[in-house]
Structure 1
């Protein structure tokens, strides 16, 4: 798509938005502000997605396109179902940002870097949603999600081979997330005593297995 087409499309959206604001100012029409801005954001998102649809080389348009579209959906949800938006608006918007970067990677597989913000935003969306029911699970889930993101980066195919550096942050974040999740779930209170019991049983087992051959030799 030519730059003139992109500018004309964005300019048309601005003209429509400005005209609606003027009509509301002069009391010609009446709109709720969140509904109006939701429409404008959604229209802007569709415009950027149209830019990408016309020219697949314009991959950058996926990011503002899906972000604006998710923001418009959030404002529309606030108008249609305010309670639902209060609980799930955050995960919806963060999920939209994540989807934008996943779409970039799906379009250009050489852009492995897009997986990192995609995974981070998806983790934040999951944390925002799950903490609605389990407030104490947020910290551990956040670090587990970040660790899983870097682990995925390691497994991604690249011309240079696997990116081994990603294993370091993946391992650190996964271990820290597992410990934090265990402490948040109060599992550590039971892990310590259970480990002592298992260690004791192992020592008793080793003692009996060593004693049996020695007794057999004496006989």
Structure 2
């Protein structure tokens, strides 16, 4: 980072801290409550400035989003008495991993923690008093959606671009478990004893479907393969 950007960031931080101290002297706000948030925000801005300099600095989006998320949590805790505070941290972290993928699409793995963080943000923001199986249902459905979307992402491999199919397996298994927990949460499932065998059967079907399509693709891409013989 060049000296000009460092001076700008340091100047903004000093002005903000000075303003908070002045408001504290005037009994307008308690500056001690917001100084940590300001420090975390300044650290996050520093990492984001590093992130913006070069494509090779994609890693800086992760600590930058964490520091900004911590600043948001502290600020939200002061303004809303702690409600939904942790959700902001997970949302910022999800945005950080999304930025890692958008900066360098070879980092497709970043979409997995991005989806996990976004799912956790939803879980934290859920209202109180929901049925006990609601949280597991949201968790598994969110993870299933994450792997399902991952299967739609084009990935470069062996000189060509293709979509990955292995994420469909965890997406199917997690989706089935999420639906089962959702049914249990709404009292539509008679007994939870059927959950394990149902998941095993559906997971086996998903594996067979995946194996069929994988074999079909290999045969289609094999040299000299001209398709099925003509009959008629």
TM-score, structure 1 normalization: 0.69
1:113 aligns with 2:114: no
1:87-123 Cα offsets, whole Å, 9 max, x none, are 2112111111111101111111111000000001111
The structure 2 residue matched to 1:99, chosen from 95, 98, 103, is: 95
1:131, distance to aligned residue in structure 2 (A): 4.1
In 2, the alpha carbon distance for the partners of 1:103 and 1:64 equals: 12
The answer for the alignment partner of 1:201 in structure 2 is none
In 1, the alpha carbon distance for the partners of 2:52 and 2:153 equals: 26
Asked if structure 2 preserves the Cα contact closer than 8 Å seen for 1:131 and 1:138, the reply is: no
Aligned residues: 174
The answer for the alignment partner of 1:128 in structure 2 is 124
In 2, the alpha carbon distance for the partners of 1:62 and 1:33 equals: 28
In 2, the alpha carbon distance for the partners of 1:176 and 1:77 equals: 34
Greater share of helix: 1
Matches within 5 A, 1:63-74: 63-74=62-73
TM-score, structure 2 normalization: 0.65
1:147 aligns with 2:144: yes
- 5+ long unaligned stretches in structure 2: 22-28, 191-232
Q: Output the aligned Cα RMSD.
A: 3.0
1:79, distance to aligned residue in structure 2 (A): 2.2
| 2:154 aligned counterpart, secondary structure | coil
| 1:159 aligned counterpart, secondary structure | strand
Matches within 5 A, 1:198-209: none
- 5+ long unaligned stretches in structure 1: 24-29, 190-219
Asked if structure 2 preserves the Cα contact closer than 8 Å seen for 1:59 and 1:104, the reply is: yes
The answer for the alignment partner of 2:168 in structure 1 is 167
1:2-56 Cα offsets, whole Å, 9 max, x none, are 7x999x78xx69x97xx99xx9xxxxxx965441111100010011111122333
In 2, the alpha carbon distance for the partners of 1:187 and 1:33 equals: 51
The answer for the alignment partner of 2:57 in structure 1 is 58
